[in-house]
Amino acid sequence: MKKRSVLKTRIFTSILLGCSVLLLTQCKKDNNEIAPQSESSQLGGVPKEFKLEALAATGAISTSYYLEKSLPAGYVKDGSRDYTSYIQAAVTKNANIVFPGFPIMVSDAGIIVGSNKTITFLPGSEIRLKPTSKGTYTILNLSGVSNVTLYNPVVIGDRDKHSGTSGEYGVGLGIRGSSNVTVYSPKISNCWGDGIYIGKSNGRPVCNNIVIKDAYLRKNRRDGISIISVDGLVLDNLYAGYSDGTTPMSGINFEPNGTSDEIKNVVINNPRTEKNGSNGIQIGLRNMLGTVNKSSDITVVSHVDIGSPRFAFKLMCNSVSGTSAKMTGLVKVVNPTWHKTGTNQPLYLSTNQPLLKTTVSSAEVMNTSGSILSTSATYTLLMKQARSGSLAITN
């Protein structure tokens, strides 16, 4: 009961934050100030509004262990040498670790982070993956752990120098079967697969009580973030852009693998998805349906999508023949701003589950010509995009 209470409190707090964001975003709408971010308007690869103030946050304390002490004599500071074994030994031994303010290279073995850890990455710190041919890797690996906090991790994959051609599961930050994990201001780019992966592994339970704030996920080959299984997730102020290379190529993708997975108690505040290879946010729940009924609830507040070639928001849950289970729940989309979707069709809804409800309120839609649709035109367009399923639209 205590865990459930803590989770509800954190989700309630995030919803309050989301409401504040909603009001601010509505002010922007009223003044027609929202515009696509071009490559030239970015600073250091980060859009101006995502120059994260949270970089000042730190978990360092007087007894923190500074990882630089574990590096070998004559170590380099340009990320050109593999120091995986030194880093892993320090992370395993110490509870509160501070990464140095310069790049460090690691191998495709990655860094395994255990329970009860606090890790701070100083300004200038980077974990760079040594180029590999492996189609599967996890650079920062949290598997079956609890009570972990990461501050400002910067992870750069090997996409541009990958020596193989197969696979799609090279992950920057993997959180599997874990609980009570908080990540502040992660910046993850150029991974062979997903920037962040949240799911299960080796029979471990569903992830729960996961909080990710101020994430910046760019140019990862598969998805910005893939969510496979979770009960209790807050994504606050997340940017996911330019995910392309291998499907699904979405900014945020919910894709449970099987009937033991869950997608529950999810709150996404102020996400921005931009020019991903396919969709901004994609939700596919079919694989959870077997013989046991399922329920799913996802709230998305103030989603901004710029230039998705297919859909800004896509939801699917069509059970297959022989499946007896039913899906119930609510997918709630509040105050979205969907601009210049390549198909001029920002929403896709296809489900044969009548008890899975979808609501969209106060949507702003801009077509590829740069015109913002009227309220009535927006309503007509979005209802048309509900190919099947229960959709309610309000102003």
AA letter at 255: E
The answer for 296, left when phi > 0, alpha when psi is -120 to 50, beta otherwise, is beta
pLDDT tens by residue, the chain, 395 residues: 444 444 545 544 554 444 444 444 444 444 433 333 333 333 334 444 444 444 458 999 999 999 999 999 999 999 999 999 999 999 999 999 999 999 999 999 999 999 999 999 999 999 999 999 999 999 999 999 999 999 999 999 999 999 999 999 999 999 999 999 999 999 999 999 999 999 998 778 899 999 999 999 999 999 999 999 999 999 999 999 999 999 999 999 999 999 999 999 999 999 999 999 999 999 999 999 999 999 999 999 999 999 999 999 999 999 988 889 999 999 999 999 999 999 999 999 999 999 999 999 999 999 999 999 999 999 999 999 998 999 999 98
Q: Is the pTM of this model over 0.85?
A: yes
Determine which helix (DSSP H) or strand (DSSP E) holds 15, and give its type and residue range: helix 2-30
Whole-angstrom Cα distance, residue 368 to residue 381?
14
Contacts of 294 (CB under 8 A, 6+ apart): 262, 285, 288, 325, 326, 327, 328, 329
Which domains are assigned to the chain?
Answer: 1-33+247-395 (no CATH), 54-226 (2.160.20.10)
